[in-house]
Chains A and B, each alone.
Chain A
Amino acid sequence: METTQTPLTPAQRQANIDRFIKRWKEERAKEQTEFEARVKSPQYQAMLKELRKKNATRGIIIPEPKL
Chain B
Amino acid sequence: MQQEESLYQNPNYNFDFLGGIDNVYSFQTQNEFVYEVIFRPTPYLFGENSLYADVIYELIIRVARNNSTKKRPPFDALVAPTIAAIFTNFYEKSPLTIAIYICDSSDNRQLIRQAKFNRWFEYFDKNDFTKLDDSIRDSDGTKYPVSLILKQNNPHRKAIFWAFLEMIEGYNYQK
A interface residues with partner B (beta carbon < 8 Å): 1-4, 8, 12-14, 16-21, 23-24, 27-28, 31, 34-35, 38-39, 44, 47-48, 50-52, 54-55, 57-63, 65-66
Contact = CB atoms under 8 A, between A and B. Distances in A.
Contacts of B60: 28, 31
B12 to A, nearest CB: 9
Interface of B: 2-7, 10, 13-16, 18, 22, 24, 26-30, 32, 34, 36, 38, 40, 42, 44-47, 49-52, 58, 60, 62, 64-65, 67, 78, 102, 104, 136-139, 144, 163, 166-167, 169-175
26 contacts: A1-B51, A1-B173, A3-B163, A3-B174, A14-B138, A16-B170, A17-B136, A17-B138, A17-B171, A20-B171, A21-B144, A23-B44, A34-B22, A35-B36, A39-B64, A48-B34, A51-B13, A51-B14, A51-B27, A58-B6, A58-B14, A60-B7, A62-B28, A62-B30, A63-B30, A65-B32
Nearest to A14: B139
Given A1-B52, A17-B136, A21-B136, A47 B16 contact: yes
B58 to A, nearest CB: 7
The dominant DSSP class at the B interface is loop
Contacts of B138: 14, 17-18, 21
A27 B18 contact: no
Contacts, number: 123
Instruction: Return the 8 tightest CB-CB contacts between A and B, nearest first.
Output: A13-B170, A16-B171, A65-B67, A54-B14, A1-B50, A20-B171, A58-B7, A2-B174
A58 B5 contact: yes
Contacts of B163: 1, 3
B173 A2 contact: yes
A7 B163 CA distance: 14
B173 A31 contact: no
